[in-house]
Structure 1
Amino acid sequence: MEKLKQRIVEQGVVVSDQVLKLDALLNHQVDPQLTMEMGREFAARFRDAGVTRVVTVESSGIAIAFATAYELGVPLLFARRKKTLLAEPDMLCERVPSFTKGIVTDILISRELISPDDRVLFIDDIIANGDAARGLVKIIERSGAELVGAGIVVEKCFQPGAKALREQGIRLESLVRIASLEGGQVIFADA
């Protein structure tokens, strides 16, 4: 997606050779038109996978996952990062570290909302080390649902997350792949 690459160059802030801040278009402020385009792209890539449910982790992945679910005509389910007073005691839960937040949190999904009959598409904003993604994959596996693939807006190729998922045999589609952030420059990977 050339438009997405252009927006990353214009609005992204390289914080270090490991961190790219995308608050202006993805993680804090959301561009609805661009988000819907990304959702259409993911839907097109996974349309033939028989997706019955789109899953993400709150909160940055929700907008893109919503756009994808809307385009596919299926429900969106997001893993919560906090238990609520109404949470059932038998939630599917996995403890995961957050690369950008520097904390460890639990991600939770209600067993009532995902079943062995589901064909799940995981959508997320950025994959770095892949801890949240691996946690969500474990939850999906424990639910008995089938993970048909993962759609990631920004893949940081120089960090191990995407490679680890692919090595598990998970189909991973990225809209943009970044090879490096060294020297304060965003260097995109070739297709």
Structure 2
Amino acid sequence: MKLYFSPGACSLASHIALLEAGQEFALERVDIRSHQTASGGDFLAINPKGYIPALEMKDGAVLTEGPAILQFAADLASDRQLAPANGTLERYRLVEWLNFLSTELHKSFTPLFRPNASEDAKDAARSNLNKRLAWTAAQLQGRDYLMGSQFTVADAYLFTILGWAGFVQFDLSPWPVLAAYSQRVAARPAVQQALRAEGLIN
């Protein structure tokens, strides 16, 4: 398999999940502005949507969309309990989290990364983030991870999203539980490995 990624972007969650699942895979960096891969290829030929992550299989099939790749990675190693078993209510709780993270948190950060976004759009994004992060912090009270004591692929995603706050000067200090959570996830060996591979830590 090959994971197409951009350092620190949402593809970091897929990177972490594949490592947590004990999978062997190659990495190929993508310039998300030029749509060129590190080897000089046209990323649009791999994923016409033009964004990462994309996971290319040995047979050439390509899976896109972070929440799909996260669940795929989890199901490759069901013994590692990166996702609850299919068909259980807990699995749908995981899907619930992945949808919330994707639509409410991930997308709310997007205007803050865009230099051409209006101040009104950025203020609206910050307002949404304040509400959504306050709710997320409340869910984490007394829990190690989003689903309780077990790390899941949803944690790889939330950890990645929280990491963006520093890049856009969004203050997370009102929620100490989020800082403690990020430190807990960051200490995992697979997370350290992914961060080093993407050049995010030494």
Superposition TM-score, scaled by structure 2 size: 0.34
Bigger CA radius of gyration: 2
Instruction: From the two aligned structures, give the one with the greater strand fraction.
Output: 1
Instruction: From the two aligned structures, give the one with the greater helix fraction.
Output: 2
1 or 2 for the larger relative contact order (CA 8 Å, sep ≥6)? 2
